[in-house]
Amino acid sequence: MIDQAATDFEAVHGARPSGVWAAPGRVNLIGEHTDYNDGFVLPIALPHATRVTARRREDRRIRLYSAQGDGTITDLALDGLAPGVVASWAAYPAGVFWALAEAGHAIGGADLLVDSDVPTGAGLSSSAALECATAAALNDLYELGLSAPEIALLAQRAENAFVGVPCGVMDQMASACCTDGAALFLDTRTLEQRHVPLDLEAAGFRLLVIDTRVKHDLGDGAYASLRAGCERAAELLGLAALRDLPAGGLAAALERLPAELAPLVRHVVTENQRVAETIKHLDGGRIAELGPVLTAGHASLRDDYRVSCPETDLAVEAAVAAGALGARMTGGGFGGSVIALVAAGDVAPVSDAVRAAFRSAGYAEPVLFTAVPSPGARRLA
């Protein structure tokens, strides 16, 4: 794989690369739409990753090629980068160069070859994988000495300010900081993190990922307006962020809020509680207990936050009806992927049931795979 990456790099850029870096996609076990409310999240990194093969350039040019792109090289001047200048996929890696330079890091140009098996636009965070793999490469090529959380924050800055997507910090923290065999329990306010061991296989379970292969356009504008709604609600309640509303104060707070904001607040507060509950179950080795928490999380996203869609709702319903212990959409919503916790022996019947339900509904065939917690951003060669 690494030899192939070097051969591909040479064919595109006409020189040998200095190294190969990788950063994974992720699924979030629980804690959805909490990261821009200073709340808690619990992602795992996927075995699927984006690889960046790279070498330095001394002329301050950036030459970007993706095996998933249109077959052309995007050639940019490092010193000409500014938000809005790059419109294509290349904005994600270019944004990382820009964020690093803007933060005062002494970087120069580079040739990059990108290749990935993270499905794009499937709620599995291919964008953060691309950003973090790029940042990891530049960190080593220019000996910047950045820590994994620093890489995540720069990658988030690239996506927020350069690409123009107002995402929270979960995806980049998951891609940069996750470890093999553990979920990442992250406080998105303090960035305090704990690696919570998660060996589903040893306990006789599997985590089934169901990529519905739909992405509803509605999602792009809806995300920003949901985020604005949460910020408005916090302001009305006199809080820095919704994370500061304790569960015991929820009922009284809901009475003070306008009807359109109350359900958003209910989701965020109960979702933070579900993260805490999940951690307790994991620490106690009670993996089966996660099932109902996942399903309750989905109901909250569907009924209160209203970010699910018919395809994700059907995947959850069909998986649970066929014996999954619990299931929920993962990622921002309006399509994307669903995770289901299933007993090892039930992977086939649950998968078949989901496929059959999609067929009956006339939906496109979903893509299913099982995921184990995998390592975060790293150098491969």
Q: Which of 47, 69, 181, 229 binds ligand ADP (CB under 6 A)?
A: 69
Q: Which is nearer to Mg ion, 127 or 312 (CB)?
A: 127
Window contacting ligand ADP (CB under 6 A); options: 64-72, 77-85, 101-109, 136-144? 64-72
Q: Which residues, including other chains, have CB under 8 Å from residue 37's CB and lie 6 or more apart?
A: 230, 234, 241, 242, 243, 268
8 A C-beta contact, residue 360 and residue 318: no
Q: Say which DSSP state 364 is in.
A: P
Binding of residue 120 to ligand ADP (CB under 6 A) = yes
Catalytic residue among 38, 111, 171, 211: 171
Binding of residue 139 to Mg ion (CB under 5 A) = no
Tell me the C-alpha distance between 43 and 198, whole Å.
11
8 A C-beta contact, residue 138 and residue 112: no
In the chain, alpha helices (H)? 2-13, 91-102, 126-141, 148-157, 170-177, 218-236, 250-256, 262-283, 290-300, 310-321, 347-361
Q: Which of 9, 21, 40, 89 binds ligand ADP (CB under 6 A)?
A: 89
Burial-class residue 18 by CB neighbours within 10 Å (0-12, 13-18, 19+): middle
Query: Among ligand ADP, Mg ion, none, what binds residue 301 when CB lies within 5 to 8 Å by partner kind?
Result: none
Tell the smallest beta-carbon distance from residue 78 to Mg ion (Å).
Answer: 24
Q: Which residues of 38-48 are buried (b: 16+ CB within 10 A; e: fewer)?
A: bbbbbbbbbbb
Q: Which of 37, 53, 74, 125 binds ligand ADP (CB under 6 A)?
A: 125
Binding mask 321-340 for ligand ADP (x = CB under 6 A): ----------x---------
- How many residues at the interface with ligand ADP, by CB under 6 A? 18
Tell the smallest beta-carbon distance from residue 331 to ligand ADP (Å).
Answer: 6
**Segment 21 to 50, residues that bind ligand ADP, using CB under 6 A:** 50
**Segment 98 to 137, residues that bind Mg ion, using CB under 5 A:** 127
Please indicate whether residue 171 is annotated as part of the active site. yes
DSSP per-residue codes, 175-188: HHH--TTEEEEEET
Q: Which residues bind Mg ion (CB under 5 A)?
A: 127
Q: Which residues have a catalytic role annotated?
A: 171
Q: Which residues bind ligand ADP (CB under 6 A)?
A: 50, 66, 68-69, 89, 92, 114, 116, 120-127, 130, 331
